[in-house]
Amino acid sequence: LRGCNGCERRLGRAADADLVLVGWVQKVSELILNINAVVREVESGRRVAGGSVSL
């Protein structure tokens, strides 16, 4: 969903949700992964929260 240009909002509306969460994993190296997440308001698309952690 991260690269779908806002389709998470359409899915959120269909589910009658107020917020949607999109997460993705980036492989930095053989030993390091970044896990990312963003929470957005369905109606406005405004970012409410987000973060990243490296493992």
What would the pLDDT profile of 2-55 be if each residue is shown by its tens digit?
A: 678 879 999 999 999 999 999 999 999 999 999 999 999 999 999 999 999 999
Residue 32 lies in a domain: yes
Asked, for residue 1, whether it belongs to a domain, the answer is no
2 inside domain:
no
Burial label, 26 (beta-carbon count in 10 A; 0-12, 13-18, 19+): exposed
> Which two three-digit tokens encode residue 30?
């053989």
Domain containing 19 equals 7-54
pTM: predicted TM-score of the whole model, two decimal places: 0.81
Task: Note the pLDDT of residue 54.
Answer: 96
Q: Rounded to whole angstroms, what are the CA distances from 50 to 14, 23, 30, 47?
A: 23, 9, 25, 8
Count of domains for the chain: 1
Helix residue ranges, H only, 1-55:
7-14
Report angle CA 25, 14, 46 to the nearest 5 degrees: 55
pLDDT score recorded for residue 2: 66
Q: Which two tokens stand for residue 13?
A: 């509306």
